[in-house]
Amino acid sequence: MIKVTAAIFVHDGMLLIAKRKSTARLPNLWELPGGKIEPHETPEECLKRELKEEFDIDVTVEEYLGSNVHTYDFGTIDLMAFRTSWNTGDFKLLDHEEIRWVFTHELDQFDFAPADTAFIEELKNGGIEI
């Protein structure tokens, strides 16, 4: 099983989402930013590293919000979500096509990676508070 982290960033009542590159696995789908946990890392360390690599930002990983297991044709992932706050750095698109800050009522306008959809539904129905 592939262990993966996801950041739930909230700012002014909006959520940060990121669009995968057209050349990436799961091309052009939107996702909660994050990435794969390396063997020597905790999930929190992974999230800090991935967000630095992908956006050149420094973050604080706050609250664990749950996990979702999803099987793709390339393997099964365990996606762990964390409430995360942005400390320093200006967002740079180093590994994504686009980022957006959106309200939860706008989430239906985007096609999300299947592993992320359980968290997106929780955000939309208030199971995860913004």
Whether residue 16 is predicted with pLDDT greater than 90 in this model: the reply is: yes
Which residues 6+ apart lie within 8 Å of 108 measured at CB?
Answer: 124
Task: Output the pLDDT for position 129.
Answer: 87
The DSSP element (H or E) to which 15 belongs, if any, is strand 14-20
Q: Are 63 and 112 in contact (CB under 8 A)?
A: no
**DSSP character string of 19-86:** EEPTTSSSTT-EE-SEEEPPTT--HHHHHHHHHHHHH--EEEEEEEEEEEEEEETTEEEEEEEEEEEE
pLDDT in tens, 37-91: 999 999 999 999 999 999 999 999 999 999 999 999 999 999 999 999 999 989 9
Can you give the residue ranges of every domain in the chain? 2-125
Task: Output the pLDDT for position 111.
Answer: 98
Task: Output the pLDDT for position 130.
Answer: 83
Please determine, looking at this structure, whether the domain spanning 2-125 carries the CATH number 3.40.140.10.
no
Task: Output the pLDDT for position 76.
Answer: 97
pTM listed for this prediction: 0.93
